[in-house]
Structures are given as structure tokens and as C-alpha cells.
Amino acid sequence: MDEKRDYIIGMRSVNEALESGKEIEKVLFKPGLEGTQFRALCEELKKRNIPFQFVPVEKLNSFSKGNHQGVVAITSMIDYVSVEQIIDKVGKGEGIPLIMMLDGVSDVKNFGAIARSAECSGAAGIILPAKGGAAINAEAVKSSAGALLRLPVARVPNLRIAIYQLKEAGFLITGADEKAEQQIYDIDFTKPCALVMGSEEKGISDSVKTLLDQRCRIPLLGRIGSLNVSVASAVIMFEAVRQRGV
């Protein structure tokens, strides 16, 4: 991988990258930045749903010893698609569609492993939030065994809006919830389905839970009582594969 393509340095360069349509994962700012140009850049990032954060200047210096002007943009390794494009692709494809939705999965290795299982199980794509989700960087791509370079990925400002879109397209929204009454074997995965996986710490957010059509849990026999989110995702996805007789 050419590491130089992973970031863009300087206020002007970042603006030019945005104007040219470059996919940007997030932007890092030095604390205390002010001025018209800075405020305009922040507004543009908000408009494009690109997350940004303020970090110590030492972090920015690690990208460049030169004049970074307090601004470094981390570029995306993939071209994101829209939820509409994933739905459109599903409509033109064969088989019963399964779409993964990740609500707060922030660990890049878990994210990459989920993407790998999603590709292997024939999932139609992955939807994740613009903020609070794992970055698609070299580590994520490596963990996915390249699956993130093959699967359509949509980054959305609000998962609830994406869920409404999927419902309108005929998808059942199924959430993995360790407190659910139904086991994964009780769920009908033979219909178009979007599977929502939450973070390991908090699970699916309350705002998303209210929109679920059904919840399911994986039966566990050991004393630990939980699975890594990437493992749990794989178990459920391949239960869907089993039911569909692939």
C-alpha cells in the first residue's frame, strides 16, 4: 500500500480534495483553529457527513513534519455507495438479499472480520454510520481479506433513515440482542433481511432498537455469556445461508 495516499495535508489541499470528489474518511484538526476558511471547511464537512475531530498537534506532526496548517484529512480506501445504490443492486440481482448494518462497531479488526464473513455469505452490502463506526483503513481491509474492496459499503449520517429506506424496499430489520426471546433458529431468514449488529459494549442503540421488526439471540452454553461481535455476525449470517439452502 502506498501510505502517501492515505492522508492529505493542509487546509487548501483538503478543500481541493473535497471539490474533486475524493473520498475522505475523516479530518483531524489542531485545537484552537479559527478563521473564515476553517469555519467554511467545517460546514462543508458537515454537509458531506464527513466526521472530524480535534487532536493534539503531536498527532498531526506524525503525519507531516512540515506545515500541515493544523489540518490532516484521512482518505478512504474505498468508494462509498448510497443506500439507494445497494437497494438497486439487490433488485437487479438473484437470490434473497441480506444486508449488514453496523451500529457502533468501532474496532477495525472486528469490522474487517464482519466484512469478510459478509462477502463469504453472499451479503449484498454493509451500511454503517458516518460517526461512531470503524474506519476503513489498511488494517480493516487486511482483516477483511480484501472483502471491503469487493462489497458495497454505504456510510450514512443516520441509521434510522437508512432503516426506513430498507423497510420501504421490503426488508425485515432484524437485530442481534442477547436478551431477545427468539433464538436465531426461530427467525425466518428466507425473506429480504437487514441484520443489525451493535457494539460489544452497548449493543444496538435504543433509537435503532425501536425500529427493529424482530430480535434474535445466539444460544450460548458456556459461562462467558457472550461472543465477539464479528463471530456473532458470522454465526447469524451463516444461519441465514443455511435456511436459504445455498
Tens of pLDDT along 89-134? 887 777 899 999 999 999 999 999 999 999 999 999 999 998 888 8
Residues 90 and 44 both lie in one domain? no
CATH number of the domain enclosing 30 = 3.30.1330.30
3-state secondary structure of 119: helix
Residues 71 and 176 both lie in one domain? no
Q: Per the structure, how many domains does the chain have?
A: 2
Residues 17 and 117 both lie in one domain? no
Residues 61 and 109 both lie in one domain? no
Single out the residue in 56, 75, 94 at which a domain terminates. 75
Q: Are 90 and 124 in contact (CB under 8 A)?
A: yes
**Confidence band of 200 (pLDDT split at 50, 70, 90):** confident
**Confidence band of 246 (pLDDT split at 50, 70, 90):** low
**Confidence band of 4 (pLDDT split at 50, 70, 90):** very low
The parent domain of residue 112 ranges over 83-243
CATH number of the domain enclosing 94 = 3.40.1280.10
Residues 108 and 148 both lie in one domain? yes
17-67 pLDDT per residue, tens: 888 888 888 899 999 998 899 999 999 998 888 889 999 988 888 887 667
Residues 159 and 221 both lie in one domain? yes
DSSP H or E stretch at residue 26: strand 24-29
SS3 per-residue string spanning the chain: CCHHHHEEECHHHHHHHHHCCCCEEEEEECCCCCCHHHHHHHHHHHHCCCCEEECCHHHHHCCCCCCCCCEEEEECCCCCECHHHHHHHHHHCCCCCEEEEEECCCCHHHHHHHHHHHHHCCCCEEEEECCCCCCCCHHHHHHCCCHHHCCCEEEECCHHHHHHHHHHCCCEEEEECCCCCCEHHHCCCCCCEEEEEEECCCECCHHHHCCCCEEEECCCCCCCCCCCHHHHHHHHHHHHHHHCCC
What is the average per-residue pLDDT within 77-89? 91
Residues 198 and 218 both lie in one domain? yes
3-state secondary structure of 42: helix
159-176 pLDDT per residue, tens: 999 999 999 999 999 999
- The structure's pTM equals 0.82
